[in-house]
Structure 1
Amino acid sequence: MYRERTSPALIGVVVYEGVEPIDIGGTMGVVSMARRVLPAIEAVTIAASAGLVALAGGLTMVASHGFASAPDCDVHIITGGPGWRDQVGDPAMLSFIRSRRPGTIASVCTGALILGAAGVLDGHSATTRRHAVGTEPIAPLDLLTGLATDLSPVAAAIVEDRGLVTGGGVSLAIDATLYLIGRIYGPEARDDVAKVIEYDRAYAANRAALGHVLR
């Protein structure tokens, strides 16, 4: 049995210039496929301004809402990608994130670094991408402590700490989104969505290998 709700769940996926397309697929793509078994679930994309957003890799997407018009969502997911470096110093992004607490805030991949800069990870445990890639001198997980006060970095697939859910790197965006669906609709719904996207074995394997840390 799926957990019943009086209204559809609304997932807000927060994007910006330089987001990796895989983070869009791992969030919006999963929610889109989830509608096969959860027809009431909905998702919107949110950016500083509605309209075109240039992603990493030369792709462009359309954000449905700007910060000023963004609806209240059951969860807001901050995506990751090389553009995080600009976002950690962007007052509009950081203010938007703060404005959506104490509601559920989540991140995938390097989106956690933006959460850290916003101050919402202070005193929390969190995860992000564990390895440096290409010319990066430091792994994102090692950068987290410099962006938040009294933060405990955890090398895990998913960390949940008092309403803050952070997911690991790159394709683990899929795992984090499935986890959030389970948080809203229950584990049976999560598992059914995982089967729909042919990810049930991968989800179980990632959980066994990397762990889900709940605090």
Structure 2
Amino acid sequence: MCKNPAMHRVVVLAISEAVGYDMQIPPAIFKAARRDGRPLYDVRICGVDDQPVRVSAGFSAVLEHGPEALDDADTVIIPGTHVEGPRRLGTLPDDIAAALDRVPAHARIMSICTGAFVLGAAGLLDGRPATTHWAHAADFRALYPRVRLDENVLFVDDGDVLSSAGLAAGADLCLHVIRADHGSEVANFAARYCVVPPWRDGGQSQFIDRPLVEPGVGSTAPTRAWALERLGEPLDLATLAAHASMSLRTFSRRFREETGLPPHTWLTRQRVLHARHLLETTDLPVDRVAAESGLGSAASLRQHLNAAIGVSPLAYRKTFSQRAGGVSERVETHR
């Protein structure tokens, strides 16, 4: 949770040799998070010293801030890096250790891709769940066996320490944090501005050794778009397959190839996401939210929401509607 939601300071600690794509994700995403045109995050990039940071794309970056920027950070993000000690030896160089020592105790710490190796070397992930790029999972486990690594997910939120998978998963994590801090409306605006999906289903496994759809072969994408406009209607596998003009077997296989999920699992996740949006942005009674999102009853909504994020609809609404600018307290009387 933000220490100061009005202007939360995010500091990206770039470590040579930094992955440039990872380094640029947090400024792009967090600076796009606004409410009523007002920025919600102050984003800065710093190094472990005042020297230019080498970037893996073949250039060096002259940063405006040194490690002193970490002193008043609310969130610190370690992007991917090729630094030798954490990546190859399981050790933490003195300059990185000194920079991390400057991070305030209250700060939230995040990693993108191989930035998790730095957190692992610092001991910040010992005994905790985390993720990193699937291609580096074996190396990570060998160096940091005390970490509960899961390379099958896009990101892991363990409260004050969060980690994401490779590259674009850093955007997923940043949007997740914005959503947790300020609600779906702000996160969705940031996603639209950056022209990225506000939420991606599935995990890293959907991107590993999965064949591309052959040209000329039908896609389930139009049917998915069609279903998203009709979440409150009865939608079963036969209905979806018929819309796609495919057999049940072909549709199920194609759907899993394209999304990494079975149709029913994907549809349930979309309905839960829509229910969360309605809880945040409307004062509809919980049973109406359940009906309009296609989850049926208030009891079903409670079950699905609790399974997804561990809270009840009323608790979710109380937290996120207020943070997103507010639905009246009277909604708590709806059952």
| TM-score above 0.5, yes or no | yes
CA distance in 2, matches of 1:6, 1:159: 22
| Count of matched residue pairs | 202
SS in 1 for 2:157: strand
> Who is 1:192 aligned against?
189
8 Å contact 2:5–2:181 — kept in the other structure?
A: no
8 Å contact 1:98–1:120 — kept in the other structure?
A: no
2:42 is equivalent to residue 42 of structure 1: yes
Superposition pairs of residues 66-145 of structure 1, within 5 angstroms: 66-83=66-83, 85-87=84-86, 88-100=91-103, 101=105, 103-131=107-135, 140-145=136-141
2:60 is equivalent to residue 57 of structure 1: no
What are the ranges of 5 or more consecutive residues in structure 2 without an aligned counterpart?
Answer: 204-258, 262-268, 270-307, 311-335
Per the normalisation by structure 1, the TM-score is: 0.80
Deviation readout 1:53-108 (Å, 9 max, x if unpaired): 1211212222232224533212100010323x245431221343355345210000
The more displaced of 54-63 and 120-129 is 54-63
> Who is 1:7 aligned against?
6
CA distance in 2, matches of 1:6, 1:192: 17
> Who is 1:152 aligned against?
148
2:25 is equivalent to residue 26 of structure 1: yes
Residues 35 and 50 of structure 1, relative CA distance in 2, 3 Å threshold: farther
> Who is 1:174 aligned against?
171
Q: Which has the higher strand share?
A: 1
CA distance in 1, matches of 2:78, 2:3: 26
Higher relative contact order (CA 8 A, sep 6+): 1
Partner amino acid, structure 1, of 2:96: M
SS in 2 for 1:122: coil
The more displaced of 53-62 and 9-18 is 53-62
Shift of 1:146: 3.5
Partner amino acid, structure 2, of 1:113: F
The more displaced of 108-117 and 147-156 is 147-156
8 Å contact 1:12–1:77 — kept in the other structure?
A: yes
Shift of 1:189: 1.4
What are the ranges of 5 or more consecutive residues in structure 1 without an aligned counterpart?
Answer: 132-139
Residues 167 and 209 of structure 1, relative CA distance in 2, 3 Å threshold: farther
The more displaced of 28-37 and 177-186 is 28-37
Per the normalisation by structure 2, the TM-score is: 0.53
CA distance in 1, matches of 2:31, 2:159: 27
Instruction: Indicate the RMSD between aligned Cα atoms, in angstroms.
Output: 3.0
SS in 2 for 1:23: helix
Structure 1 stretches of 4+ moved >6 Å: none
Partner amino acid, structure 1, of 2:174: T
Identity of aligned residues (%): 22
Deviation readout 1:144-181 (Å, 9 max, x if unpaired): 33443531111210101131100010111111111222
CA distance in 2, matches of 1:130, 1:6: 33
Q: Which has the higher helix share?
A: 2
